[in-house]
């Protein structure tokens, strides 16, 4: 019984571990050139080296700062626009079709223009990240508010709620599941945009680390940078899940099973 | 008219409806409704679906506005008594993101928690106060909705088929709960239902709405507590049902007469 449970726990890891082992073996046996793929051990060694020199932290910090600031600005604007169009008929009439039109422009297509506007410094990257995170949050906020059960709103009005208290107690919590879906999409776009922006032009950050390593044929650092992006993306997703678990704990779909509940 | 009730404070709102009309576009849902309901009376409104009975309730609750006519609480417009009016919907309409006790206290200010617990106590759910509504059954949700309405100490309680979705046993339990709370607090009740047996079992007076007009106004002069399944109730139920089912043709009875034993033949 117990050993079976351990087996079930370990089973999902079997394939990745096997893959890593084959990879390591094929590099050390010389079947795979280190120019194409470095051995996993080499990637780890590169990571250890960058950590001990402290270099990695400055790059991580600057990438995190760009991502975070862009997300806050873009998400904030998206949320505000979503509230405006979701809550007011006139807001919807005036804004929604314009926003939907801009949404259809792939924001990465703006890179040449953005470089012309802002040069290649921080502003350009933060602008791109903000643009990438704005629309998923806008769209989901707008739809979340539109899909709040009108029966609940009617009930709340008949119990004397209106204005801000109606918004805070009924509309916002009702829209929150959808808004958080938007946040998860936006976090995905946030890293994607940042990777592209940093790869094109940067003098610091993880993307710079990778591009710089490419010039010196340090494939181990390049792979390390890719792994770092993956880990950061996973962390952001975990954070979003954590928010869901806290803010949507009333929702049956997000409840952690405690057992014994009738 | 309602002398049969036990003596109590006249907490209820006396309700007067004068020449009430409501049209949605060109479709007239209610026409020329005239109704007088004394304070504290328990009135059941029955009718086929789409006859306008829910519309009447929504007008009384201030959720819609009438096309013409007057709604009066005593001599003042009913809209001034909105604070004293509470509506219970067909579905419980609890906010799923608020704990049960917070649902009961919706729209209240100050220290309402002890009061909310008391209201939950009255519907027998005090020990579930800190759970999410999703954990409750349909009947329990409606009991919370009832507590939420009662905490405002309404003088007019409007019930829009609140028991329609419940199973038969839970339904009878809820009917008794509502009846007991009504006897205790003495508010005026308007219960919209499609269940004629429920209407005659619980109400002082049964009003039938047909084609937007009052088709039948029947006083149920039976002592409480009423015995379910008694002959008198069955006879009354048959009288109303006959009226509902055999639409035009039969002239409306001018005065409610006590049911004849011969009418029992229709009961099958």
What DSSP string describes B93-139? ---TTS-HHHHHTTT--SS-HHHHHHHHHHTT-GGGTTS-GGGS-HH
pLDDT band at A179 (very low <50, low <70, confident <90, very high): very high
Dihedral sign from CA coordinates of A143, A149, A154, A157: negative
- Window from A208-217, B9-18, B125-134, B240-249 with minimum mean pLDDT: B240-249
ipTM value: 0.79
Residue B81 CB neighbours (<10 A): 19
pLDDT of amino acid B249: 44
- Count how many Cα atoms sit within 13 Å of the Cα of residue A161 in the half-sphere of its side chain: 21
A contacts of B65 (beta carbons < 8 Å) = none
Q: What is the C-alpha to C-alpha distance for residues B56 and A17, in angstroms, rounded to an integer?
A: 69
What digits encode the pLDDT tens for the residues B172-212?
888 988 999 899 888 999 999 988 888 988 999 999 998 88
Predicted local distance difference test score (pLDDT) of residue A262: 36
- Residue owning tokens 């639409």: B247
Q: How far apart are the first and last CA of chain A?
A: 27
Question: How confident is residue A257, by pLDDT bands cut at 50, 70 and 90?
Answer: low
Average pLDDT over residues A90-119: 89
- What is the number of alpha carbons within 13 Å of residue A47 lying toward its C-beta? 14
- What letter would DSSP give residue A2? H
Q: What is the pLDDT of residue A140?
A: 96
Which residues of chain B lie closer than 8 angstroms to A252, CB-CB? 134
Please, what is the angle between helix A219-247 and helix A206-215, to 10°?
Answer: 160
Q: Which residues of A touch B (CB under 8 A)?
A: 151-152, 154-156, 158-161, 169-170, 173-174, 176, 249-252, 255, 261-262
Could you give the CA distance from residue B28 to residue B249 in angstroms, rounded to a whole number? 22
User: Which of the 8 DSSP states describes residue A120?
Assistant: T
What are residue B248's phi and psi, to 5 degrees? -70, 180
What does the pLDDT average to over B79-103? Answer: 90
Residue A80, pLDDT > 50, answer yes
Query: What pLDDT score does B4 carry?
Result: 45
Give the predicted TM-score (pTM) of the model.
0.81
What average pLDDT does range A22-38 have in this prediction? 87
Q: Give the SS3 label for residue B220.
A: coil
Nearest residue to A151 (alpha-carbon basis) of B85, B93, B52 = B93
What number of residues does chain A have? 262
Are the beta carbons of A229 and A223 closer than 8 angstroms?
A: no
* Residue A63 predicted with pLDDT over 80: yes
Indicate if the pLDDT at residue B11 is higher than 90.
Answer: no
Res B247: pLDDT: 56
Averaged pLDDT score across all residues of chain A = 89
CA B187, CA B155: separation in Å to the nearest integer? 5
- Cα separation, B256 vs B206, whole angstroms: 10
Taking 70 as the threshold, does the pLDDT of residue A151 lie above it? Answer: yes
Flag the least confident range among A25-29, B8-12, B143-147, B161-165.
Answer: B8-12
The beta-carbon neighbor of A152 closest among B62, B95, B148 is: B95
Q: What confidence score (pLDDT) does residue B1 get?
A: 43
pLDDT at B259: 54
- Helices H, strands E: what count in chain A? 12, 0
For A184-236, write each residue's pLDDT tens digit.
Answer: 999 999 999 998 888 887 788 898 989 988 888 888 999 999 999 999 999 99
> In a mutagenesis test of the B interface, which of A176, A180, A250 is the best target, namely the one with the most B β-carbons within 10 Å?
A250
Q: Which two tokens stand for residue B208?
A: 């039938």
Residue B148 and residue A250: Cβ atoms within 8 Å?
A: no
From the list B93, B97, B106, the residue facing A250 with the nearest CB is B97
- What's the angle, vertex CA B227, arms to CA B223 and CA B231, rounded to 5? 95
Confidence band, pLDDT 50/70/90 cuts, at residue B229: confident
Identify the pLDDT of residue A86. Answer: 92
Q: For B149, name the nearest residue in chain A, comparing CA atoms only.
A: A159
Lookup: tokens for A253: 């779909």
Distance from the first to the final alpha carbon of chain B? 32
Decide: B206 and B44 in contact? Cβ < 8 Å: yes
Interchain pair B106, A161: CB under 8 A: yes
Q: What is the CA radius of gyration of chain A?
A: 23
Whether residue B252 has pLDDT greater than 50: no
Residues in chain B: 268
Report the distance separating Cα B182 and Cα B225, nearest Å.
Answer: 13
Contacts of B152 in chain A (CB under 8 A): 159
- From the list B91, B107, B132, the residue facing A161 with the nearest CB is B107
DSSP symbols for B34-87: EEEE-TT-EEEEE--TTSSHHHHHHHHHTSS--SEEEEEETTEEGGGGGGGEEE
- Rounded distance, CA A243 to CA A237, Å? 10
The rounded distance, in Å, linking the Cα atoms of B268 and B264 is: 8
Confirm if A182 and A136 have CB atoms less than 8 A apart.
yes
Q: Which helix (H) or strand (E) covers residue B28, if one does?
A: strand B27-37
Band the pLDDT of A1: cuts 50, 70, 90. Answer: low
A55 in helix, strand or coil? helix
């Amino acid at each position: 019984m117990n050993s079976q449970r351990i087996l079930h726990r370990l089973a999902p890891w079997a394939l990745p571990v096997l893959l890593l082992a084959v990879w390591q073996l094929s590099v050390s046996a010389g079947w795979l050139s280190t120019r194409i793929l470095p051995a996993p051990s080499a990637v780890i060694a590169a990571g250890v080296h960058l950590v001990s020199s402290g270099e990695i932290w400055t790059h991580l910090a600057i990438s995190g700062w760009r991502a975070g600031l862009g997300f806050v600005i873009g998400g904030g604007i998206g949320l505000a626009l979503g509230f405006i169009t979701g809550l007011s008929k006139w807001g919807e009439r005036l804004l929604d079709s314009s926003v939907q039109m801009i949404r259809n422009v792939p924001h990465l297509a703006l890179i040449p223009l953005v470089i012309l506007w802002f040069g290649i410094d921080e502003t350009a990257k933060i602008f791109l990240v903000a643009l990438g995170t704005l629309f998923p949050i806008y769209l989901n906020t707008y739809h979340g508010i539109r899909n709040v059960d009108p029966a609940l709103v009617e009930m709340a009005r008949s119990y004397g709620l209106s204005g801000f208290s109606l918004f805070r107690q009924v509309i916002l919590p009702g829209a929150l599941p959808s808004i958080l879906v938007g946040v998860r999409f936006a976090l995905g776009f946030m890293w994607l945009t940042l990777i592209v922006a940093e790869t094109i032009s940067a003098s610091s950050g993880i993307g710079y680390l990778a591009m710089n390593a490419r010039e010196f044929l340090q494939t181990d650092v390049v792979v390390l940078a890719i792994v770092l992006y993956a880990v950061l993306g996973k962390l952001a997703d975990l954070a979003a899940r954590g928010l869901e678990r806290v803010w949507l704990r009333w929702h049956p779909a997000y409840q952690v099973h405690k057992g014994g509940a009738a | 008219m309602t002398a049969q009730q036990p003596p109590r404070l006249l907490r209820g709102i006396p309700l007067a409806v004068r020449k009430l009309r409501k049209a949605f576009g060109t479709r007239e849902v209610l026409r020329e409704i005239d109704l007088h309901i004394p304070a504290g009376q328990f009135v059941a409104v029955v009718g086929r679906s789409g006859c306008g009975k829910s519309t009447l309730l929504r007008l009384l609750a201030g959720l819609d506005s009438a096309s013409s006519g007057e709604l009066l609480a005593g001599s003042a417009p009913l809209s001034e008594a909105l604070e004293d009016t509470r509506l219970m919907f067909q579905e419980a309409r609890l906010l799923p993101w608020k704990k049960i006790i917070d649902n009961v206290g919706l729209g209240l200010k100050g220290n309402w928690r002890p009061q909310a617990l008391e209201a939950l106590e009255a519907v027998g759910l005090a020990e579930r106060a800190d759970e999410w509504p999703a954990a409750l059954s349909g009947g329990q949700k409606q009991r919370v909705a009832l507590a939420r309405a009662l905490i405002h100490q309404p003088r007019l309680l409007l019930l829009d088929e609140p028991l329609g979705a419940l199973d038969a046993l839970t339904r009878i339990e809820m009917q008794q709960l509502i009846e007991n709370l009504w006897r205790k607090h003495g508010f005026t009740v308007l219960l919209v239902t499609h269940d004629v047996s429920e209407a005659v079992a619980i109400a002082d007076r049964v009003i039938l709405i047909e084609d937007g007009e009052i088709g039948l106004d029947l006083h149920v002069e039976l002592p409480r507590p009423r015995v379910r399944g008694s002959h008198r109730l069955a006879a009354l139920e048959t009288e109303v049902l006959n009226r509902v089912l055999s639409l035009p043709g039969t002239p409306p009875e001018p005065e409610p007469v006590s049911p004849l034993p011969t009418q029992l033949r229709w009961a099958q």
